[in-house]
Amino acid sequence: MKTALAAALLLTAALASQAQNHNAVLPYEPLDGTAADGSSEYLAAKARWHDELAAFFRADQQQFPAPGGVVFVGSSTVRMWKGLGQDFRQVPGIVNRGFGGSTLADCSLFARDLVVRYKPRQVLVYAGDNDLAEGRTPLQVLESFARFANAVRAELPNTRISFISIKPSPSREHLMPQIREANNVISAYLNRLPDSEYIDVFTPMLGTDGRPRPELFRSDRLHMTDEGYRLWQSIIATHLPSP
């Protein structure tokens, strides 16, 4: 256990240092298909999420978000937040770029496609539980988040980066040890990264028995109810910029 913790702390320090290096730009191919290194990982992800990326591109063509807004990016929990803009109506420029079923690894690959291109003053990312469900380790989740932060900071050094903790879904209760560990190492990483923060939704979503609060989740025991989103709104609102 001590060896694993020491390894996590060493990796956290190394990744934080890397994320502050603005010259470290990760592989990227823009949505229009120009100028890329053609990495197989990126191209495979782009093919997998073709329809979702195309929908975002069409939305941008109709009305491109003004710079200086707030981008939410991540998995289905973000995508299904239909009232996102209304819930944070006091904050101008809310942009939802959630794509259901995505992983933090996907978010890191699409950081420029879904974040950098909008030049936001803040980005909030929610992902990681799908990574763990697919068999990735907490350290691999941390590494994906660090790649995401690195890609954002490489071009937007003044953009605030916020990570919304991995939630304790009842259907993934068997992964609770890994969820806790991933949250802990990402929180430690963010403590070393300037102008960033860890937003804890994990703890408020647990009951007095230490288990996920069932009223916050739909019948699939994975996605959230309106009550769950109200809880998130109350927590996240305090972390958003003033109008």
**CATH assignment of the domain containing 105:** 3.40.50.1110
- For residue 187, being part of any structural domain is answered with yes
- How many domains is the chain built from? 1
- For residue 2, being part of any structural domain is answered with no
Q: What is the pLDDT of residue 24?
A: 37
Q: What are the pLDDT digits (tens) for 37-53?
A: 458 999 999 999 999 99
DSSP symbols for 81-138:
-TTHHHHTTTSS-EEEEE-TT--HHHHHHTHHHHTGGG--SEEEEE--HHHHHTT--H
Write b or e for each residue in 49-88: b if 16 or more Cβ atoms lie within 10 A of its Cβ, otherwise e. Answer: beebbeebeeeeeeeebeeebbbbbbbbbbbebeebeebb
Kindly report which listed range (31-35, 65-69, 160-164) carries the lowest average pLDDT score.
Answer: 31-35
Taking each helix axis as running N to C, give the angle between helix 176-191 and helix 138-155, from 0 to 180 degrees, rounded to the nearest 10: 30
- For residue 144, being part of any structural domain is answered with yes
Tokens representing 45 are 């992800």
- For residue 200, being part of any structural domain is answered with yes
**What residues pair up with 163 in beta bridges, in sequence order?**
125, 198
| Domain, as residue range, for 232 | 68-239
pTM: 0.87
Contact, 145 vs 8, CB < 8 A? no
- For residue 37, being part of any structural domain is answered with no
Average pLDDT value for residue range 157-176: 97
- For residue 94, being part of any structural domain is answered with yes
- For residue 138, being part of any structural domain is answered with yes
Average pLDDT value for residue range 19-30: 40
For residues 169 and 126, what is the distance between their CA atoms, to the nearest angstrom? Answer: 14
Q: What are the pLDDT digits (tens) for 201-216?
A: 999 999 999 999 999 9
Q: What are the pLDDT digits (tens) for 84-120?
A: 999 999 999 999 999 988 999 999 999 999 999 999 9
- For residue 118, being part of any structural domain is answered with yes
